[in-house]
Structure 1
């Protein structure tokens, strides 16, 4: 097929088509390779002058005839059997068309090869023997037809003569029928006498005209019957009639009649075809036994057989009946019953009804041959042919009834890929027959179009953290050409990503489908966009290509947790100072956070997850943490909340942190060594009737004691506010309310910090093996001064910055009775309640408070039921470290959740409590109820 197409492309580029008819003769049974003729010699084309000269069949033929391409030498390809190829046609032709290429010349050659017959067949009779019954009174010259000998050869090689063996009573006569065949008859030339000779045997021989002649024979057995007075006699011994080929089956052809003068059965005549009539006669015709009417048994066709010869016999029903014969010739009359036939021989085709021509063909290029024929004769067989469908093609006569389809202009497959033409052939019969044949001319492609992408730029979005090998998209480039010229393959043009990596390490492309796949996982935070070029190439020669830009935008995925940037976290927590007197609406802290993602994934919101005191609210957008209520001592010294920052991703991510607000002494003006720290319990004590009774009784006591404490404290403050107890506790350096420089705050796990302006530095940190956290309170050294004898200790409460100066003689008296005091010791003792601890030093005072349950009762303070209070205190003596204590209560069932088992600082509590008293003035006095035999001291 490739061979044919290559020549076809060359052929279609040549114009000015001409045609020549060349005839040759060959004989059947010639050996393969026998030369038939040489086209280059006959057409006077010298291949030596033009090396490009070549000859080619327009349409592939069978292997009977072969042709050498370089010079057009025709030879026998295989043994030819004329009888099989053309049967008994008088002329046997092999026709085909050849294209001769010579430089820019183009010549169409119509070749006709006549196959001559050789005498390779002998005549043959239908039957090897024939039986005849003849009456002894048969008249002279009576004729008796014989079987026709058949010879498959034609012309002179066909049967030419018949002969019989020697006999005195019969001779043979040969006649030529309408169809050209020769037939033989026995003719009676001498009267028969049954008594003399009853049987005769005659051998009939048929001989053809070949050299050497061939023959065939048959034997005729004749029996002479006894005398019969009369025998049937035909009105006509021979007849000739015409029958139209379009006569329907059952039509009457002819009718014969014979007379028999005898009476009875001897005069009844029956008709029939003689024995040995040809099968084609008995197949097409039938005769009525009684009437002798011949009718059409099957349709006849003039184009198949133009004449029939019938031999009819008539005989009576008597004994020893002798038959008579009649010869009838039926000539078939041609009618215009055949429409013209159209045969299209394309240069190349892959299916019937389709012709191919390249789009690069020039004007007047040859496309196909159209041959017409009509089996009818006379005007019924004359054909006129025309072409309709498109002006780009026309008909040009080549020879006889053969035409060429040629182009009238240049072609463009992309504009018109195929043409549907109509070939019309019409004969000249009455009425005329018309044949219409539709034919398709398809334009073959030339690689004159480059692949074109559907988009100049492809924007692709890929979610980061994609799985390597994930499908991204498919680029599509379409080539208007077809076949290999339109088959597109895709490839990446080498380039680099912004970080210098080859693009081939990031993406891959399927060369056949154009599908793009990822080779690695993208990270939005490091690579937000990638651009590269894809090339599409066709398979034509030479190949054509085009490119497109691929832009990959990496889409952010919520794969990064937000994190706090302020305050700075340590172990996921931070300590933030807060003034003890912060009012409702006070901005305690502004949280700051960051998320490495972008877009909605980086939109953050802040939330409070845990806030036991319900003190704080948070703006989810700004992260501002604001007090909802005024800060009081009841909330404790350390206010802990748990916050979270959440992004706005489809599957949000979050981070949490613990923020501890440490109450500072900001603005404290008076010393305070005893404060109350409220701790929220995990368990709520059950409220019952007895609890209500106790609370009511305690309330009455509080009212009574409040009056006594107010009177006592007022008098004490007025008389001894400047020097009472100042040197004994803190020397001469009181805490400043407005200056936080001397305040101490607890700011982190196991860390004691001193606040100086805006800076914090660790002063002491202790991590014991049992994780018990201890804090040592630093203070200015002072001398130990006992307020009472027997190492009594004082629990002091004050509303101003004056401190009591306590002197102890060691005998149980004091300077309360001195002249510098307007208040006697006894009076003071009456206003104070003392307690006498067991023999112990200052260092184990905290241990007692730790080991024994202590209940705080206050007046004018609303205490939630079930809450436990822990007392912070400072003994009055001059040492560097007052006391070591822990706020974790081992005997209490409640959990000090707001302190988280961390050490408190007494100065902070003192300042905090002082500020509370000054602002609220709700706590007037307090007393301590001990769980031991100690006597509580009230101030």
Structure 2
């Protein structure tokens, strides 16, 4: 991953007295470079003042590769505001000093691609404050026996500006006084001032000095303040206490040292006798209140011990001013500067912050909450969405999301220093997701495979951050990814073909059957409605299938629209379609074969021989032999199966029983007796044709 910078010419931060703001804006592109863009603005700019436009300064691989949208994350938009379209940054708060040292992230999406960018915004301080003394009158006492070079602590003026615009110098207005003022910067970064004795004093010659103290900052033009300095010269004894460590002592203390640990035994000595050699110890006026709370100085022995727990991550250096003074008349004193440096130990486990992200148009987690159909989970906080860090590690990803799609930003940190603060992070749980390094301490959770909600609806992942201390401390964070539904499943009927039967002569509206289709999607994507596909029915005069049958679109119930006649329509083939509620909807199809069952609603009809007034004639030769076939009766029945199974029955014959024989199945009528030589009248027989229905017709 390569890095390059766009910079506007600026002075060095410490030299020019500039507050700096580091604004991290995050853009991701798979396999692309990380860029750094710098902007400059001034404190107290007017609201809405443009700071810069990101799209003007980001280099792209081609002219067509233009970001479609920028999005700030982990950022208070009331301080600096950004237009999502082109990434224009504008001033959102008149006091930009509040932003110094804060970090921010941004995600930009375009054409399903992302790019990672670091942006540094430098806030240049304006000299809008003058130094001010805590008091207008500053009283100071010094012994006439004080040695040349003796330092007397002074109160330091306060200047709310920073850098070069802050306090730069202190001096005396009187050029020929026996004193000089020195302004210094302490080891802990604070400023201190001393009144330095330049020549020996004689109280009997001059017992007091009234001087003017001038403080000035480094602005253009500079601002200044004055205070009246009153120096009273005291009569002194012969000797001052002396510290064996000298004027400066340094000590190192581990941050896990127990309360009561001895830091230093100061043990200042005074060779005088009696009260003039009796030394008492106390913290000087420049020792800050926090140091007085954490460290204890025994006023008699000078032993410096730990009074409260210290934390390297909170403050790594303390400077204590210790004053040793004898108890004689006109007491003499000595000062020692004790610098306590805190040594870091591995006492802080790494922190993991997870910010779920989503491309524009993707479902928004709110709070990826379990109470809704989409969201919820462990540690869920109030409503959150893309670009908002949440305590509950939950992301919502649409199924069908492409590989290498961005899921979340993971930021790790450790308040320890050195190896104790170096953190490595790993993701466990499923191969469909992987952790991709972004920049120092930050990672991207991206998809490593295709997601299918119907196969796996949620993934329980685990993030583990481990420092490199000895022994290493680690933090384990559960992380839940829920897969949101997409309309990627079409409705599927329970059968491809439904075989349905209905008896003819049914009443209109009669129930026929219920069809059903199942859709694996959720919500509207899984809501199925039904409809019949119109098709022309043969032998029905151009009528369409929906003329005969109705389908309830919600329940899938089929009903007959009218009375069926099997002899007119024996079978009906219907096309079914199931549609889901997606946009666009998906559909599935099936077929219903409707069979009309026969009823015995037709009586047999004799077609051979032809009837005239329900009678038929057949020729009979005089010499017809026994078994002579007189005729074959043929009847037709429009019904089906048993209802059309015909039986021929002879009821009576005028030639006596057994004269004629009728075959019950074939309808063959044959002669079974000899005729008289001279028959007078025709032979007659009554025949019935009966079908097999119940009851028969």
Q: Give the TM-score band, short-chain normalised.
A: 0.5 to 0.7
Q: Secondary structure at the match of 2:195?
A: strand
The answer as to 2:261 corresponding to 1:251 is yes
* 1:724 paired residue number: none
Q: What pairs with 1:166-177 in structure 2 (closer than 5 Å)? A: 166=174, 168-177=177-186
1:312 aligned to 312, 317, 322, which one? 322
Whole-angstrom CA distance in 2 between matches of 1:182 and 1:288? 27
* Shift in Å, 1:405: 1.8
Whole-angstrom CA distance in 2 between matches of 1:180 and 1:259? 31
* Shift in Å, 1:544: 5.3
Whole-angstrom CA distance in 2 between matches of 1:218 and 1:481? 80
* 1:30 paired residue number: 45
* 2:339 paired residue number: 329
Q: Secondary structure at the match of 1:30?
A: coil
* 1:819 paired residue number: none
Structure 1: 5+ residue runs without aligned partners?
Answer: 1-10, 87-91, 457-474, 495-499, 517-533, 550-939
Question: Are the counterparts in 2 of residues 28 and 118 from structure 1 also a CA contact under 8 Å?
Answer: yes
The answer as to 2:404 corresponding to 1:364 is yes
* 1:56 paired residue number: 70
* 1:432 paired residue number: 472
Going from structure 1 to structure 2, the CA distance change for 1:24 and 1:480 (only over 3 Å counts) comes to farther
Q: What pairs with 1:41-190 in structure 2 (closer than 5 Å)? A: 41-45=56-60, 49=64, 53-57=67-71, 59=73, 61-63=75-77, 64-82=79-97, 84-86=98-100, 92=101, 94-101=103-110, 103=111, 105-126=113-134, 129-166=137-174, 168-190=177-199
Going from structure 1 to structure 2, the CA distance change for 1:267 and 1:493 (only over 3 Å counts) comes to farther
2:281 aligned to 243, 265, 271, which one? 271
Q: Secondary structure at the match of 1:265?
A: helix
Q: What pairs with 1:288-307 in structure 2 (closer than 5 Å)? A: 288-307=298-317
Whole-angstrom CA distance in 2 between matches of 1:315 and 1:403? 58
Q: What pairs with 1:329-478 in structure 2 (closer than 5 Å)? A: 329-348=339-358, 349-351=365-367, 352=390, 353-449=393-489
Whole-angstrom CA distance in 1 between matches of 2:311 and 2:204? 50
The answer as to 2:234 corresponding to 1:225 is yes
Whole-angstrom CA distance in 1 between matches of 2:102 and 2:39? 10
* 1:575 paired residue number: none
Instruction: Give CA-to-partner distance per residue, 1:441-497, whole Å, 9 cap, x none.
Output: 2222212246789999xxxxxxxxxxxxxxxxxx999864345545x4889999xxx
Whole-angstrom CA distance in 2 between matches of 1:39 and 1:315? 63
Question: Are the counterparts in 1 of residues 253 and 343 from structure 2 also a CA contact under 8 Å?
Answer: yes
Going from structure 1 to structure 2, the CA distance change for 1:59 and 1:134 (only over 3 Å counts) comes to closer
* Shift in Å, 1:76: 2.7
Question: Are the counterparts in 2 of residues 56 and 100 from structure 1 also a CA contact under 8 Å?
Answer: yes
* 1:780 paired residue number: none
Whole-angstrom CA distance in 2 between matches of 1:118 and 1:478? 69
Going from structure 1 to structure 2, the CA distance change for 1:120 and 1:479 (only over 3 Å counts) comes to farther
Q: Secondary structure at the match of 1:233?
A: coil
Going from structure 1 to structure 2, the CA distance change for 1:28 and 1:485 (only over 3 Å counts) comes to farther
Going from structure 1 to structure 2, the CA distance change for 1:49 and 1:139 (only over 3 Å counts) comes to closer
Structure 2: 5+ residue runs without aligned partners?
Answer: 1-26, 359-364, 368-389, 497-514, 534-546, 558-575, 592-697
Q: Secondary structure at the match of 2:416?
A: coil
* Shift in Å, 1:359: 0.8
Whole-angstrom CA distance in 1 between matches of 2:149 and 2:114? 69
Q: What pairs with 1:671-710 in structure 2 (closer than 5 Å)? A: none
Question: Are the counterparts in 1 of residues 286 and 321 from structure 2 also a CA contact under 8 Å?
Answer: no
Going from structure 1 to structure 2, the CA distance change for 1:284 and 1:131 (only over 3 Å counts) comes to farther
The answer as to 2:201 corresponding to 1:192 is yes
Instruction: Give CA-to-partner distance per residue, 1:771-822, whole Å, 9 cap, x none.
Output: xxxxxxxxxxxxxxxxxxxxxxxxxxxxxxxxxxxxxxxxxxxxxxxxxxxx
Whole-angstrom CA distance in 1 between matches of 2:87 and 2:53? 6
User: Whose radius of gyration is greater, 1 or 2?
Assistant: 1
Whole-angstrom CA distance in 1 between matches of 2:241 and 2:74? 63
* Shift in Å, 1:411: 0.5
Q: What pairs with 1:683-832 in structure 2 (closer than 5 Å)? A: none
Q: What pairs with 1:509-588 in structure 2 (closer than 5 Å)? A: 539-543=581-585
Whole-angstrom CA distance in 2 between matches of 1:280 and 1:204? 28
* Shift in Å, 1:346: 2.5
Question: Are the counterparts in 2 of residues 397 and 404 from structure 1 also a CA contact under 8 Å?
Answer: yes
Q: Secondary structure at the match of 1:432?
A: coil
Question: Are the counterparts in 1 of residues 263 and 306 from structure 2 also a CA contact under 8 Å?
Answer: yes
* Shift in Å, 1:189: 1.9
Whole-angstrom CA distance in 1 between matches of 2:590 and 2:155? 88
- TM-score scaled to structure 2, two decimals? 0.61
Going from structure 1 to structure 2, the CA distance change for 1:439 and 1:320 (only over 3 Å counts) comes to same
Going from structure 1 to structure 2, the CA distance change for 1:190 and 1:318 (only over 3 Å counts) comes to same
Question: Are the counterparts in 1 of residues 70 and 85 from structure 2 also a CA contact under 8 Å?
Answer: no
Q: What pairs with 1:574-653 in structure 2 (closer than 5 Å)? A: none
Question: Are the counterparts in 2 of residues 245 and 335 from structure 1 also a CA contact under 8 Å?
Answer: yes
Q: Secondary structure at the match of 1:290?
A: coil
Question: Are the counterparts in 2 of residues 537 and 545 from structure 1 also a CA contact under 8 Å?
Answer: yes
Whole-angstrom CA distance in 2 between matches of 1:188 and 1:232? 18
* Shift in Å, 1:184: 1.4
Going from structure 1 to structure 2, the CA distance change for 1:354 and 1:116 (only over 3 Å counts) comes to farther
Going from structure 1 to structure 2, the CA distance change for 1:218 and 1:299 (only over 3 Å counts) comes to farther
Question: Are the counterparts in 1 of residues 71 and 84 from structure 2 also a CA contact under 8 Å?
Answer: no
Question: Are the counterparts in 1 of residues 467 and 473 from structure 2 also a CA contact under 8 Å?
Answer: yes
Q: Secondary structure at the match of 2:55?
A: helix
* Shift in Å, 1:412: 0.7
Whole-angstrom CA distance in 2 between matches of 1:288 and 1:276? 18
Whole-angstrom CA distance in 2 between matches of 1:289 and 1:150? 31
Q: How many equivalent residue pairs?
A: 489
Whole-angstrom CA distance in 2 between matches of 1:53 and 1:230? 77
* Shift in Å, 1:256: 1.5
* Shift in Å, 1:289: 0.9
Question: Are the counterparts in 2 of residues 489 and 537 from structure 1 also a CA contact under 8 Å?
Answer: yes
Q: Secondary structure at the match of 1:258?
A: coil
Question: Are the counterparts in 2 of residues 146 and 183 from structure 1 also a CA contact under 8 Å?
Answer: yes
Q: Secondary structure at the match of 2:424?
A: strand
CA RMSD of aligned residues (A): 4.2
Question: Are the counterparts in 2 of residues 98 and 111 from structure 1 also a CA contact under 8 Å?
Answer: no
Whole-angstrom CA distance in 1 between matches of 2:590 and 2:158? 80
Instruction: Give CA-to-partner distance per residue, 1:864-885, whole Å, 9 cap, x none.
Output: xxxxxxxxxxxxxxxxxxxxxx
Question: Are the counterparts in 1 of residues 425 and 466 from structure 2 also a CA contact under 8 Å?
Answer: yes
Higher helix share: 1
Q: Secondary structure at the match of 1:438?
A: strand
Q: Secondary structure at the match of 2:73?
A: coil
Instruction: Give CA-to-partner distance per residue, 1:700-722, whole Å, 9 cap, x none.
Output: xxxxxxxxxxxxxxxxxxxxxxx
1:211 aligned to 199, 220, 223, which one? 220
Instruction: Give CA-to-partner distance per residue, 1:163-199, whole Å, 9 cap, x none.
Output: 1332622111233321233321111222223333333
* Shift in Å, 1:218: 4.7
Question: Are the counterparts in 1 of residues 74 and 105 from structure 2 also a CA contact under 8 Å?
Answer: no
Question: Are the counterparts in 2 of residues 99 and 109 from structure 1 also a CA contact under 8 Å?
Answer: no
